[in-house]
């Protein structure tokens, strides 16, 4: 399947957007721009890359994006459950790993679910920002575990909730 990349310059530094014909597959925080990203843009960008760039433009402009971005994820059923809950967390809001675990346990009709399992699932989130795992915090609201680094997590939360 044809895969295409695009470089997106953000306030967090460059982001590498990756998509195929079915949808966006990855957003990667970059410290260096890899050669394949420098060559991006030679073809007409795939629709998912165009939609993701417009979505990110709105997001970084302080808006709640209203652009649908097709996603093409390779995920387990548990990762999908976690993602679906995370995608309900509103801009400027947070939820703990434990709260997500409790919701999944309730959906499954089981007494409890480990918060660590939620953390592991989110650690495999290939599309940060669009799937807002930066909105998930530790039990006391502390910032923990973010693939882009805790400083980026803090900046994203500040962008979403500038009054706090």
Q: How far is CA 102 from the centre of its chain?
A: 21
CA distance linking residue 49 with residue 7, whole number of Å:
10
CA distance 69 to 54: 9
- Token match 């044809």: residue? 2
Q: Are 12 and 130 in contact (CB under 8 A)?
A: no
> Any residues with CB less than 8 A from the CB of 57 and at least 6 apart, and which?
none
Active site residues: 133
> Residue 96: enclosing H or E segment and its boundaries?
strand 95-96
What is the Cα–Cα distance from 5 to 108, expressed in whole angstroms?
A: 38
């Amino acid at each position: 399947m044809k895969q295409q990349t695009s470089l997106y310059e953000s306030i967090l530094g460059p982001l590498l957007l990756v998509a195929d014909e079915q949808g966006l597959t990855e957003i990667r925080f970059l410290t260096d721009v890899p050669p394949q990203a420098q060559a991006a843009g030679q073809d007409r960008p795939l629709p998912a890359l165009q939609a993701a760039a417009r979505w990110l433009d709105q997001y970084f402009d302080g808006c709640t994006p209203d652009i649908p971005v097709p996603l093409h994820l390779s995920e387990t059923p548990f990762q999908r459950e976690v993602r679906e809950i995370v995608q309900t967390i509103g801009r400027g809001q947070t939820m703990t790993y434990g709260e997500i675990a409790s919701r999944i346990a309730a959906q499954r009709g089981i007494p409890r679910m480990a918060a660590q399992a939620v953390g592991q699932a989110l650690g495999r989130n290939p599309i940060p920002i669009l799937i807002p795992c930066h909105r998930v915090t530790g039990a006391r609201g502390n910032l923990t575990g973010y693939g882009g680094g805790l400083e980026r997590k803090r900046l994203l939360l500040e962008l979403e909730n500038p009054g706090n």
